[in-house]
Structure 1
């Protein structure tokens, strides 16, 4: 029996178990379906360091070529490098990665030319259904004249483009620990920041886990989890670094710690980068998802920009950025989006902005980032519930009777209170979970609101 694609084709991409769900046959069917559904005849295909990546990339290319598309195989790529290829060459893209998922997983992220996202509501559902039909026995689309396959290495071109966007040559000397988590940062960081391509760059890189290894022998490549940045924090303190950077498995996300090893919240990084982009592009729009700190829209407005609030998820924020021609966008999860990068997310470019900001001042990163911290946040709290939407309605009913609360349903339920506190409660796309984020003007107000909502959710 053919695998059921609906079990592992998610809202924004494909994530599944290698062998039982993801097979070369599945990827060949998706390749053929992607060409048929999108009509795109030029594709770039890349993969991360997972063992199954090269075979899956070849299978996708095989299906696409039979359907009449020409494919350039880019080999080892970070996800943002694949977006770079799709943008620079104006081709559709297929990136084989499961990001931070464990070793037994792989996945696929698709995009249209200019790195425009493909999600369930923008073509992925149709690709899924067409591929399922092929796997169930329907003939795959086959062009009278098959396409061609070529190979090309884009690493040097990607590195050069990144250095054009953020000039690091004039900053003060910095010592930086970088934890690549055995992921694709170990491939891209040396090219962009390494001495072999940038003689005289005033950055000393202290590398952690740069060896590409899809079994993740040291820790999961998910720096959003505190346990996975412990080694980075310790190394920063031991070597006396100015800051530390951690990338996830496919290096499209970047997390930052200061010289004391303390995490710098993604909302703080969003506000910091926003001020830099607004200095170059005054009056521009900056997007932030609805669980970023309230400080982000405040700081954007104070610097002459227009803050634009979006739903959580890269396909949503990319669409709003393109619609509003936003110069920059940030998410609580460590995804950062740039107009100069085809509105796509890139951990590398965010890291370079942090390095530039730190290197343009004699102050420490903690002193610099304090300018952008105004509230106390709970972090994301997950609760397993049988009926997420019923629980959201129950929480809404509880607060309806209060005079000083405003509610909206842009993404789950958001509550905003007169004292500046707010909370967002939204369902997971993939699990029976509710995700709660709370922020307040001080710790006591945040904790009081957090506990009030959790009592209802977990009752």
Structure 2
């Protein structure tokens, strides 16, 4: 079978429908995944899918492939990705797959995969491709059965989270699959909910379901202005990421959300380790220490953070992209819906939710800036920076994931994306002048190792 190698990404499999990702390809991937499950003596895999139009055919083909390897499938239907992760625990399945294109355009879809509690990433995903290409496949006859998990998930969250007072909120699901669960979850938590785009529609007719982009939060900002709601929550296409907007229209980015969660978790887990990725604000480390915790900066990527969470036993982790992982009271997987519930629990105990959020430490920062290059070039550029660049006046150069250069008054970051051929750049500082100075240092460092690039800053 002809496989497009580019669909086998760092953290998942993702491709364009009817081009690089077809039902035949999905069936082959299912067969390889089932074969890997058999090699690990695993017997059952839960399969859920987001609201994309291609979901039913891809999920069906994937299930056929898993069964062809002799592994049973539990079909949980159209649910947010976190509910697929939850299903593995609730149904005692040995693994799970979410058929999802996350926040990609409507013509994309893909697979996020877990086997035996381990999220597949990196070489483990490449190994599936090798199994298909070499025919290293198990054979058998698995069965498919249906199961419903939404009610059990709602009961589990409602048994864990308690609001100190009723709240009025706006939720925007961007026509993603979170709309199948979020309205009833927050209503049952005791909220008065203004719903935006909660009808699941794989065409995404209103705006793109990616709350990390400010332009996708304008409807929430408008609704907060026009109603008496005190907070806005927005979810990405498959419900594993959260966006937060205050009453006065400020976007609270995930690294600042993490401050609130860290202070709360550390009140019950003193001395706990809090993991965050290299894109997060430098205000986070001091805040975590101030609240009695131990900060740990780590690689970007939901699969990589989950692996570190498992290894360290940390009670909480978070990424700048909006993935937050609660191990304290929860399972350690990224779940935008549960994260939203935990946020409301904290804020409902405060008289002024807006102030509780806006008072969190902040700094001047740029959004993520993308330097587009040819396939493979971002990694080479960052390798050259790591080995050859000089950053005068820097306090520290951190190289766990790209190059993050810390100064007394800010930081600059350049890291290769694991999903698209770009170098991701981000700058933060105490003043605009400091940001410009750090950008100038990066400009000259990049120019010294790779002249002639048109930089996005």
Q: TM-score, normalised by structure 2?
A: 0.91
Q: 1:184 maps to what in 2? A: 177
Counterpart pick for 2:314 among 326, 338, 341 = 326
Shift of 1:247: 0.3
Is the Cα–Cα contact under 8 Å of residues 183 and 195 in structure 2 kept in the other structure? no
Q: 1:91 maps to what in 2? A: 94
What CA distance in whole angstroms lies between the structure 1 residues aligned with 2:101 and 2:391? 44
What CA distance in whole angstroms lies between the structure 1 residues aligned with 2:367 and 2:23? 39
1:104 and 2:98 correspond:
no
What CA distance in whole angstroms lies between the structure 1 residues aligned with 2:380 and 2:22? 37
What CA distance in whole angstroms lies between the structure 1 residues aligned with 2:278 and 2:136? 44
1:434 and 2:423 correspond:
yes
Q: 1:210 maps to what in 2? A: 198
**1:189-220 superposed Cα distances (whole Å, 9 cap, x missing partner):** 123223xxx3xx43110000011100000011
Q: 1:24 maps to what in 2? A: 23
SS at match of 1:344: coil
Q: 1:151 maps to what in 2? A: 146
Q: Aligned runs of 1:133-282 on 2, under 5 Å?
A: 133=134, 138=135, 140-143=137-140, 146-168=141-163, 171-194=164-187, 198=188, 201-282=189-270
Q: 1:307 maps to what in 2? A: 295
SS at match of 2:361: coil
What CA distance in whole angstroms lies between the structure 1 residues aligned with 2:21 and 2:193? 37
What CA distance in whole angstroms lies between the structure 1 residues aligned with 2:27 and 2:304? 28
Is the Cα–Cα contact under 8 Å of residues 3 and 21 in structure 1 kept in the other structure? no
Counterpart pick for 1:49 among 51, 56, 67 = 51
Is the Cα–Cα contact under 8 Å of residues 84 and 341 in structure 1 kept in the other structure? no
What CA distance in whole angstroms lies between the structure 1 residues aligned with 2:386 and 2:63? 48
Q: Using a 3 Å threshold, how does the CA distance of structure 1 residues 108 and 389 change in structure 2: closer, same or farther?
A: closer
1:402 and 2:402 correspond:
no
What CA distance in whole angstroms lies between the structure 1 residues aligned with 2:381 and 2:25? 37
Shift of 1:26: 1.1
Q: Structure 2: any 5+ residue segments left out of the alignment?
A: 447-452
What CA distance in whole angstroms lies between the structure 1 residues aligned with 2:60 and 2:144? 10
1:444 and 2:406 correspond:
no
Is the Cα–Cα contact under 8 Å of residues 247 and 255 in structure 1 kept in the other structure? yes
* Paired residues, number: 441
Q: 2:450 maps to what in 1? A: none
What CA distance in whole angstroms lies between the structure 2 residues aligned with 1:58 and 1:295? 46
Q: Using a 3 Å threshold, how does the CA distance of structure 1 residues 404 and 150 change in structure 2: closer, same or farther?
A: closer
Q: Using a 3 Å threshold, how does the CA distance of structure 1 residues 449 and 55 change in structure 2: closer, same or farther?
A: same
What CA distance in whole angstroms lies between the structure 1 residues aligned with 2:196 and 2:391? 53
What CA distance in whole angstroms lies between the structure 1 residues aligned with 2:379 and 2:175? 38
Q: Using a 3 Å threshold, how does the CA distance of structure 1 residues 398 and 67 change in structure 2: closer, same or farther?
A: closer
**1:268-305 superposed Cα distances (whole Å, 9 cap, x missing partner):** 10111111111122221111111111121211111111
SS at match of 2:171: strand
Q: TM-score, normalised by structure 1?
A: 0.91
SS at match of 1:130: helix
Is the Cα–Cα contact under 8 Å of residues 374 and 441 in structure 1 kept in the other structure? no
Shift of 1:451: 4.2
Q: Structure 1: any 5+ residue segments left out of the alignment?
A: none
SS at match of 2:181: helix
Is the Cα–Cα contact under 8 Å of residues 97 and 250 in structure 1 kept in the other structure? yes
1:127 and 2:128 correspond:
yes
**1:66-118 superposed Cα distances (whole Å, 9 cap, x missing partner):** 2111111000110000111123324200110001111111111101233x311
